[in-house]
Amino acid sequence: MSATTREQRALEAKVSDVFRSFASAGYRNRAFLSELWREEHLDYLLKGMTRLPASFTVLDSSRPWLCYWIVHSMALLGRQLDPALQADTIEFLKHCKDPLGGYGGGPGQIAHLATTYAAVGTLVSIGGAQALSSIDREKILEFLLRMKDPSSGGFRLHDGGEMDVRGCYTAISVAYLLNILVPPLLEKLGEYVASCQTYEGGIGGEPGAEAHGGYTYCGLAALIMADQVDSLDLPGLLNWAAFRQGKVEGGFQGRTNKLVDGCYSFWQGGVFPLLQQVVTKLISQQTSGSSIMHEEIEDDSDTEIGVRKARNQQHRPFHNPTALQGYILLCCQVLNGGLIDKPGKSKDYYHTCYCLSGLSTAQHCLSTNPEDHPPSGHVFGPYSNLLDSTHPLLNFHMKRYMEAVDYFVSKA
């Protein structure tokens, strides 16, 4: 037996013990065990906005990410920073600006596409004119255009830096939000991302790399925003993503033959609502030759037959969102606040953010109107577990996103 198989079986046994204990508990105990420990998570998150231990110095170049993970998580839990902390956070991010556009990982650091996304996401999550007016759209557009690699269609993450699918996603996301998605940013984008799709169906970080959950979400989302999603083999992508959900655990693995990890609740779980969007678009087109998923509908010569098949699937999830919520709530919560990768791991702000983002996405995955609450049957545990919705393409708080879009459209 290989080491990989031993680790998988050990994790399945550990998770099965948790699920058996839950199933055998009385009604009241099951309600407690499946409860989202909202206040404990908020306490943990707030501590991270004031003082962090010395071990966090390794994240000195990721300080906007810490802001994003914490502020976005709090927003999903229905809580805002107090006005003083909001003002401090806005001021701190101003110091992370590069004079040539974009945001660095900390004051005085060079601009980077990933930390630009994180800084903008933090400011959107805070919301309001003070936060949004601090974003210099013109300078950010200059930075995005400078990072664009015209020969490949991809984006470099910083001046002279590496080029991968993260760069495509973070650049397109920021441009999409700020209403600066100009044609030069879109040139050959579909070709580049498609060159990163592997024989398995998922998307790797760069051409020739292994298919990976984070890059698959980033590539798919970027091409949906760019209206170039037909560049991808969508049936292959769906097949690969569906098989990443653990049959026992209910959570998602990031790559083939890896263990499930709470963060992929969003990176993999978030792929399926995006594919639902594609199916909805297919249905709305309904004309011969208009389908962007003609392969998925088995090469039917009659497009109407394929459309009817897609319509039958439109309101059914492509994954098991209930099992995913069960994994997050029963296996990834820490009693004193914070969420984790899997049982036995330590909590951190990254996993807290993406476990909560995945939980929100699973709860709202079939909602057609972001302002509607999902039915109780879509929420694992008590209905009080329901989180605010997150934007499926950007992973920004939905209401704050809509307010930001209105703001930036008014400034265009």
Q: What is the pLDDT of residue 315?
A: 66
Q: Where are the domains of the chain?
A: 3-284+308-410
Q: 280 falls in which pLDDT band (50, 70, 90)?
A: confident
pLDDT at 29 over 90: no
| pLDDT recorded at residue 11 | 97
Average pLDDT, the chain: 93
How would you write the chain as a 3-class SS string? CCHHHHHHHHHHHHHHHHHHHHHHCCHHHHHHHCCCCHHHHHHHHHHHCCCCCHHHHHHHHHHHHHHHHHHHHHHHCCCCCCHHHHHHHHHHHHHCECCCCCEECCCCCCECHHHHHHHHHHHHHHCCHHHHCCCCHHHHHHHHHHHECCCCCCEECCCCCCECHHHHHHHHHHHHHHCCCCHHHHCCHHHHHHHCECCCCCECCCCCCCCCHHHHHHHHHHHHHCCCHHHCCHHHHHHHHHCCECCCCCCEECCCCCCECCCHHHHCCCHHHHHHHHHHHHHHHCCCCCCCCCCCCCCCCCHHHHHHHHHHHCCCCCCCHHHHHHHHHHHCECCCCCECCCCCCCCCHHHHHHHHHHHHHHHHCCCCCCCCCCCHHHCCCCHHHCCCCECCCCCCEHHHHHHHHHHHHHHC
Range of weakest confidence among 119-133, 180-194, 315-329? 315-329
Phi, psi of 103 (to 5 degrees): -125, 140
Share of the chain above pLDDT 90, in %: 84
Enzyme catalytic residues: 212, 255, 258, 261, 263-264, 341, 348, 351
Mean pLDDT confidence for 10-19: 97
> CATH number of the domain at 3-284+308-410, out of 3.40.50.720, 1.50.10.20, 3.30.365.10, 3.40.50.620?
1.50.10.20
What is the C-alpha separation between 412 and 407, in angstroms, rounded? Answer: 9
pLDDT digits (tens, 9 = 90+) for 372-386: 889 988 999 999 999
State if pTM tops 0.85: yes
Q: What is the pLDDT of residues 120-167, one digit of tens each?
A: 999 999 999 999 999 999 999 999 999 999 999 999 999 999 999 999
Q: Is the pLDDT of residue 296 over 60?
A: no
pLDDT in tens, 39-93: 999 999 999 998 898 999 999 999 999 999 999 999 999 999 999 999 999 999 9
